[in-house]
Chains A and B, each alone.
Chain A
């Protein structure tokens, strides 16, 4: 049996670890609330954006627009959104796994890393990191998303990359987050939708000023930017959610271990007292 001193020392170290995990849990809870509110506020924008783009695309069928066509280049850009810090459970490795198991050829991929952890993992696995945008991972601003979007759209327009993907963690609710890989460009024109009847009359006669094609030219970049921003905001919320969960279970595991060790310590203490008593009694008997 381990000595009392050993048990006590181990208990102490677990206690201080628990204090850290507890504090981290509290911090990420607060951060989560803020990130969640952010994510919810921006939801309205993306929904309208998505609807508008879809309604435009539904009407401009058969258009030869570069943003809608596969380009010659086989290179595919992937924006990989992870966190800059670890201790968030499976959050970072899930995203890395998603990219690695996506079925996209490793040689064709150009990684645009947002978040250090994902960058490091992919780098170790031999992926080519094209650019590192980790600075924007923590507090995403729309201006950052616009910049990243601009770089990618320029490369797409120049024919350097043929497809753009976005890997991020979808924030469903506080406890459930889903690693998601979506295709940003070329925009997939929604299949001839069977909900056509639901399209209201007002939408059916929508006019565009300037003309469809020109409008598309201006709206698609905004669409891409907003998806990138949405991904960033949701990723931050998911990160804090994942960290909160991880730290919560770490704290309760520590609690359990401390309970265990306390029991062991008390037993060892009782054992040593009993032993001492037996020794004293035996000694006294020997004298008398």
Chain B
């Protein structure tokens, strides 16, 4: 089976460009894995771990926001925020997770629940990708 041409673009750099035999990430509809020959689809990214499989090796990154265009032979991810594990500050992530949990626990009226949940999800993703 042929490979997928994977391209991950962020506003300020080209994060990754190369071949992959499989790509996995989290979307608003749930986690998906993409193999070559996938039907054309556009999905919205939800914070989660991005796994790139290439020559039996796996690369991981924390993908936080953006959307992806999937075609049978290529996948283009327009990522707003994405990081390699070595770019993550674990202490900051843990602090952020704690803060978000705190906010969700003592819900007051002005709380932006969606925002707090996203923040928590992001922090958890960062922590998980380092494990």
**Which A positions have Cβ atoms within 8 angstroms of B?**
38, 41-42, 44-45, 48-49, 52, 56, 142, 145-146, 202-203, 205-210, 215, 218-219, 222, 225-226, 229
Contacts and interface: CB of A to CB of B under 8 A. Distances in A.
22 contacts: A38-B12, A41-B12, A45-B9, A48-B9, A142-B11, A142-B12, A146-B80, A205-B40, A207-B39, A209-B27, A209-B28, A209-B29, A209-B42, A210-B28, A210-B29, A210-B44, A215-B67, A218-B44, A222-B78, A225-B80, A226-B11, A229-B11
B76 A48 contact: yes
A42 B12 contact: yes
Interface string B47-83: 0000000000000000000110101100010101000
B40 A219 contact: no
B83 to A, nearest CB: 13
A215 B42 contact: yes
Given A41-B13, A48-B9, A210-B29, A142 B78 contact: no
A44 B13 CA distance: 9
A222 B12 CA distance: 14
Contacts of B27: 209
Nearest to B66: A222
A209 B9 contact: no
B104 interface: no
Nearest to A219: B67
Contacts of A203: 40
Contact of A52 (B10, B14, B78): B78
Interface of B: 9-14, 27-29, 39-44, 66-67, 69, 71-72, 76, 78, 80
A209 B43 CA distance: 5
Contacts of A207: 39-42
A215 B44 CA distance: 7
A49 B69 CA distance: 10
A52 B11 contact: no
Contacts of A42: 11-12
Contact of A202 (B9, B14, B72, B78): B72
Contacts of B78: 45, 48-49, 52, 222
A69 B65 CA distance: 26
A226 B79 CA distance: 11
Contact of B41 (A145, A146, A206, A229): A206
A147 to B, nearest CB: 13
Nearest to B30: A209
Nearest to A229: B11
